[in-house]
């Protein structure tokens, strides 16, 4: 190989290295290709150049937005990095990425640091919540988790179920309503409850668990003895699901509060529950409101109330009672130890007033009675007022949304003057602001 050829190759190599140096910036990284500032030769080329510029601009804007979000996230969570026992972050517009970032913060906590976590009303999906539940498994002194009204779905319940199965974890309060976890998610939670010994409060309302989910819960109640309060409202539970729950309630000896309001228990679903109430001696609070419960079920409940001595709170508002059903309920209450009763919007009319007034005048345990939204006119109200004069226990009565005239208002005013400890509320469904005794007394003073 001659010297001229070698020199030529050397020159070409130096030229190439020199060109590469010009293609790199001061930081050593390749320079972005420059868009030639020349007139495009065609419409297609002009459109391509414009789209390239727009894409670059959009990418830069997106990067700036993400950087701003990250900085805002770091600033927001900075105060929680010190290891606070209570993290109250309800309604804070937290996203799934925020939940992931929070998980990293909590992972740095000592195992005995966190005792309460409230994430109610955010925008956390199953991925962020799954990471949270895995991290929370190490926080064994955590007693309260409130994560209602997010977007968890059933996929997030697997890590939660693992937490509930841990023997040394102290979690006692779990609110997970409004997350669409469905029957599959509640099934995982219920399976954990069969071995859990610490959870005392569980709210899984507004989760569309249906009859299948109710059956899962019933199976857990047959084995669990530590759960005290269970909220299953607004879950599309019908008769078949309730029947399985009734069987469990006849066996369970731990639950004291059960809320199955706003379901669909029409056509006989409550009859077996009434039978369970006769056998059950631990339940103290039961909510059956907004369930289309009819006369046949009301009669069964009335008979059960005569024999049950432990139930103290009963919500039967917004059902479909008729004369016989209402009478049976009042007769049952007369012999029970009930202290709190909601019969709002229960079709109570002048035909039921005799049984109602006899119950009120003779009862010595009832302290709260809600009769809002019925059909009690002036004549019925006069009889009720006479019964209230004889009653020695009622301190709160709600009478709004009844067709009361000036006569009834004046009589109630006189009654509250005589019985200073009696609080009469005339608040309506449209306006729930409680009327004070001064408001009730005002017509008599004018």
pLDDT digits (tens, 9 = 90+) for 93-110: 999 999 999 999 999 999
Task: Report which DSSP code applies to 315.
Answer: E
Dihedral of the alpha carbons of 271, 340, 336, 349, in degrees to the nearest 10: -70
Please state the rounded mean pLDDT for residues 410-438. 81
**Distance (Å, rounded) from C-alpha 38 to C-alpha 348?**
86
Residue-wise pLDDT for 230-277, tens only, equals 999 999 999 899 999 999 999 999 999 999 999 988 767 788 899 999
Going by pLDDT thresholds of 50, 70 and 90, the confidence category of residue 445 is: very low
Number of domains, the chain: 1
pLDDT of 434: 45
pLDDT of amino acid 62: 74
At residue 164, the pLDDT reads: 97
For residue 432, name the pLDDT band (cuts at 50, 70, 90): low
Residue 423 Ramachandran class (φ > 0 left, ψ -120 to 50 alpha, else beta): beta
Is residue 437 over pLDDT 50? no
**In this predicted structure, what is the pLDDT of residue 205?**
98
Question: Helices in 150-234 by DSSP H: which ranges?
Answer: 157-164, 182-193, 210-221
Q: Is residue 42 part of a domain?
A: no
Q: What's the domain range around 399?
A: 87-445
Q: Which of 225, 237, 132, 112 is nearest to 176 (CA)?
A: 132
**CA-to-CA separations, 121 to 85, 175, 348, in angstroms, rounded:** 20, 12, 38
- What local confidence, expressed as pLDDT, does residue 112 receive? 87
What's the pLDDT score for residue 272? 85
Q: Higher model confidence: residue 326 or residue 31? A: 326
Task: Write down the pLDDT at residue 84.
Answer: 86
Q: How far is CA 236 from CA 71, 88, 198, 239, 245, in A?
A: 43, 31, 28, 10, 14
Q: Is the pLDDT of residue 64 over 80?
A: no
Q: Please, is 55 exposed, middle or buried when counting C-beta atoms within 10 Å of its C-beta (0-12, 13-18, 19+)?
A: exposed
Least confidently predicted of 59-63, 112-116, 243-247, 289-293: 59-63
Q: Closest Cα partner for 252 from 281, 213, 278? A: 281
Specify if 72 maps to a domain: no
Helix, strand, coil percentages in the chain from 3-state DSSP, rounded to 5: 50, 10, 40
Residue 182 lies in a domain: yes
Whether 75 is covered by a domain: the verdict is: no
pLDDT at 68 over 90: no
Residue 12 maps to a domain: no
Of 68-77, 303-312, 395-404, least confident by mean pLDDT is 68-77
- Pairwise CA distance, residues 310 & 402, whole Å: 31
Average pLDDT over residues 57-70: 71
pLDDT of residue 422: 96
Instruction: Determine, yes or no, domain membership for 78.
Output: no
- Element of type H or E holding 335: helix 323-335
Question: Is 31 contained in some domain?
Answer: no
Does 2 map to a domain? no
Q: Is the dihedral of CA 363, 364, 365, 370 positive or negative?
A: positive
Task: Read off φ and ψ for residue 173, nearest 5 degrees.
Answer: -130, 120
What average pLDDT does the structure give for the chain?
Answer: 87
Question: Which of the pair, 9 or 312, is modelled with greater confidence?
Answer: 312
In the predicted model, what is the mean pLDDT of residues 125-143?
Answer: 96
The CATH number of the domain holding residue 174 is 3.80.10.10
């Amino acid at each position: 190989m001659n010297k001229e050829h070698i020199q030529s190759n050397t020159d070409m190599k130096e030229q190439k290295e020199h060109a590469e140096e010009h293609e790199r910036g001061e930081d050593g990284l390749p320079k972005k290709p420059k868009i030639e500032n020349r007139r495009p030769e065609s419409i297609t080329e002009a459109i391509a150049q414009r789209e390239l510029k727009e894409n670059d601009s959009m990418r830069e804007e997106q990067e700036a937005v993400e950087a701003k979000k990250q900085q805002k996230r770091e600033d927001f969570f900075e105060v929680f990095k010190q290891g606070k026992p209570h993290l109250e972050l309800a309604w804070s517009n937290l996203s799934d990425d925020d939940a992931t970032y929070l998980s990293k913060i909590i992972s740095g906590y000592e195992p005995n640091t966190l005792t309460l976590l409230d994430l109610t009303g955010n925008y956390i999906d199953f991925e962020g919540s799954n990471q949270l539940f895995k991290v929370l498994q190490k926080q064994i002194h955590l007693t309260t988790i409130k994560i209602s009204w997010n977007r968890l779905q059933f996929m997030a319940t697997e890590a939660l179920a693992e937490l509930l199965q841990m023997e040394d974890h102290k979690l006692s309060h779990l609110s997970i309503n409004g997350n669409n976890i469905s029957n599959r998610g509640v099934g995982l939670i219920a399976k954990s409850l069969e071995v859990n010994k610490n959870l005392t409060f569980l709210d899984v309302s507004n989760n569309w668990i249906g009859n299948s989910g109710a059956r899962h819960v019933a199976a857990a109640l047959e084995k669990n003895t530590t759960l005290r309060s269970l909220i299953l409202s607004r879950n599309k539970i019908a008769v078949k699901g309730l029947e399985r729950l009734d069987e469990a309630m006849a066996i369970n000896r731990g639950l004291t509060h059960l809320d199955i309001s706003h379901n669909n228990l029409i056509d006989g679903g409550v009859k077996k529950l009434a039978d369970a109430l006769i056998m059950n001696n631990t339940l103290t609070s039961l909510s059956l409101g907004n369930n289309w419960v009819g006369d046949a079920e009301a009669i069964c409940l009335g008979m059960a109330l005569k024999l049950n001595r432990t139930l103290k709170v009963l919500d039967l508002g917004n059902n479909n009672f008729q004369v016989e059903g209402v009478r049976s309920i009042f007769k049952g209450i007369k012999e029970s130890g009930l202290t709190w009763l909601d019969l709002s919007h229960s079709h109570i009319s002048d035909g039921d007033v005799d049984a109602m007034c006899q119950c009120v005048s003779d009862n010595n345990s009832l302290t709260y009675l809600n009769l809002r939204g019925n059909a009690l006119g002036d004549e019925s109200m006069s009889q009720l007022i006479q019964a209230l004069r004889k009653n020695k226990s009622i301190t709160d009565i709600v009478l709004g949304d009844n067709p009361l005239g000036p006569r009834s208002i004046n009589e109630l005013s006189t009654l509250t003057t005589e019985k200073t400890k009696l609080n009469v509320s005339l608040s309506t469904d449209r306006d729930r602001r409680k009327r004070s005794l001064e408001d009730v007394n005002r017509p008599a003073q004018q």
